[in-house]
Amino acid sequence: MIENTARKGERPPKIASKPVRKREPNILAVIDQRGCTGCEACIIFCPVDCIEIVPGTHFAQFQQVVEVDIERCIGCALCAKNCPWDTIPMLPYAEGIKKAPELTLKSICNQKTVEDIK
C-alpha cells in the first residue's frame, strides 16, 4: 500500500502568504465539509495549491476535513472531478462566495463558517 505523504507535519501559521489568483474565475470550488472525509484526493490534483487540511474539527465523525481558499481558487474543477465522495460542487463565482460559509464547518483560511452565519 502506498502511503499518502501529502501535507504531513506542521502547517505554517499564516496561509495568506501564498499568491492570490490574477482574476476572478467563472466558477468556484466549495467543499461541503459535512460530506468530506479528509481523504486528501483533491489536494493532489489542485494546480494552485489552494486546498488546505483542516485538522481536528469539533464534530466527532471527522478526523480532518479540507477547505478551499476561495481567494486562490482558479475554478479549474480538477478537485471536483477527482473527489471520490462528490462533495465539491463547482458553483458560479458569486454563488460560491455566498454558499461557502454554509458549507464550511471549520476554517483555517479565515473564511466565514456555518457558525458565523447562525
Over residues 92-107, mean pLDDT: 92
- Coil, strand, or helix at residue 91? strand
14-50 per-position pLDDT tens digit: 555 567 778 889 999 999 998 998 899 999 999 999 9
47 close to 76: Cβ distance less than 8 angstroms: yes
pLDDT, position 20: 73
User: Is pLDDT above 90 for 82?
Assistant: yes
What confidence tier does 97 reach under pLDDT thresholds 50, 70, 90? very high
Over residues 61-65, mean pLDDT: 75
In percent, how much of the chain has pLDDT > 90? 53
Pairwise pLDDT comparison (3 vs 76), residue with the higher score: 76
CATH of the domain spanning 20-103, picked from 3.40.50.1820, 3.40.1390.10, 1.20.120.1200, 3.30.70.20: 3.30.70.20
User: Is pLDDT above 90 for 54?
Assistant: no
Where in the chain are the domains?
20-103
User: Is pLDDT above 70 for 8?
Assistant: no
CA distances from 31 to 10, 51, 117 (A): 22, 9, 17
**Integer Cα distance of 45 and 61 in angstroms:** 25
106 close to 58: Cβ distance less than 8 angstroms: yes
